[in-house]
Structure 1
Amino acid sequence: MDQKIFINKAEASGIIAFDLLRYKPSIEIVELDIKDHLFMGMIVKEKEFKESIAAVDFSVYNEKAVGIICSTDAVIPPWAYMMLMEKLSPYVVYADLNNAETILLELWKRRLIYADLKSYKNEKVVVRASADHDPSLYLLAAGLLKPLVKSLMYGEIGLPKVIFKA
């Protein structure tokens, strides 16, 4: 009896998948709204500001990334941010003047930039597609992988879109 042998063409292609999710940070990211520490939610008064942040238990930010935002249209002097950071620094892993979504993207990019990508050298690589990923991640991945890989593709191993071939 004849046996039919099925060949997995995707596996036989030698294409390696590069999954951006592998580099997504798992750290909890929270926002701290500076308006909660402003006089009438709008004005920075030094004495009131100092008293307000002195009353905060900043340990709730332990081992987290913090996005400092101001949900009102207030003018915040730079020293106010410095005072906040002085209180946050013993606890936080990362803090910036951005919302949580922007901080996630920034940390994700950092993980990509500092990733050891040597295993992709001279390989055929497909960067996995996901509509949920910010396009700037694909831009960065292409820039990091192009000098290393034999060919760079986008999509899935079974049906990739060729971006570059050496």
Structure 2
Amino acid sequence: MSEEFEIKNKVANSGLVNFDITDLYPKGKRMGIDIKDFLWEGMILKEKDFREKIANIDAELYNDAYVYIYCSEDVIIPLWAYFLITSKITDAAKKVIFGNREDLEVLLMHNAIQTYDFSELRDKRVLVKGCSDESIPNNAYVELVEQLKPLVKSLMFGEACSNVPIFKN
């Protein structure tokens, strides 16, 4: 084949580094604990009953899980109640937070981005992949830009064939 008809992959030769944020996404099961299930008639926290129900939790159910504790009812829950639940499962779970599933995902991605070593991207032209099979919180993309802006030569978002330039240093 002559050189004038040679097919060249311009994207591969561009020096563009593809970064897939889902590579940072912590793998593992997510589980919620609804405090409502530990309340008397789903409405009132009776300390003795509450403590008994917490004592009967099988902590192994939460082994290596990311757990979020919430209450689906609009009731007053004393802070010590969260202490009791957390102390029961914290040795088994990977992470325990107060909040909903979305809060958990935001925190997990925050921790992943803050602890990742981005030095391999220094002075590179970086393209952050736009599509993902995982549901990545929007805040993760904001934090990613904060981490990358001082390091990379340029940042783009999307796909190689159709990207949005974000900045150039």
Which category of TM-score, normalised to the shorter sequence, fits these structures? over 0.9
1:145-164 matches, within 5 Å, as: 145-164=148-167
- TM normalised by structure 2 equals 0.91
Aligned to 1:6: 7
Which runs of 5 or more structure 1 residues have no equivalent in the other structure?
none
Task: Write out aligned runs for 1:27-106 (5 A).
Answer: 27-106=28-107
Alpha-carbon distance, 1:2 to partner = 4.2
| 1:128 corresponding residue in structure 2 | 129
Cα distance, 1:101–1:8 mapped onto 2, change above 3 Å: same
RMSD: 1.5
Q: CA deviation at 1:57?
A: 1.4
Shift of 1:144: 0.5
Instruction: Please report how far the alpha carbon of residue 51 of structure 1 lies from its aligned counterpart in structure 2 after TM superposition.
Output: 1.3
User: Could you tell me the TM-score, scaled by structure 1's length?
Assistant: 0.93
2:14 and 2:106 mapped to 1: Cα distance?
32
Over 6 Å off, 4+ runs: none
Matched length = 166
Specify the SS of the correspondent of 1:164.
strand
Provide Cα deviations, 1:22-54, integer angstroms capped at 9, x if missing partner: 001102110011111111111111111111111
Task: Give identity over the alignment, percent.
Answer: 35
How far is 1:64 from its partner? 1.0
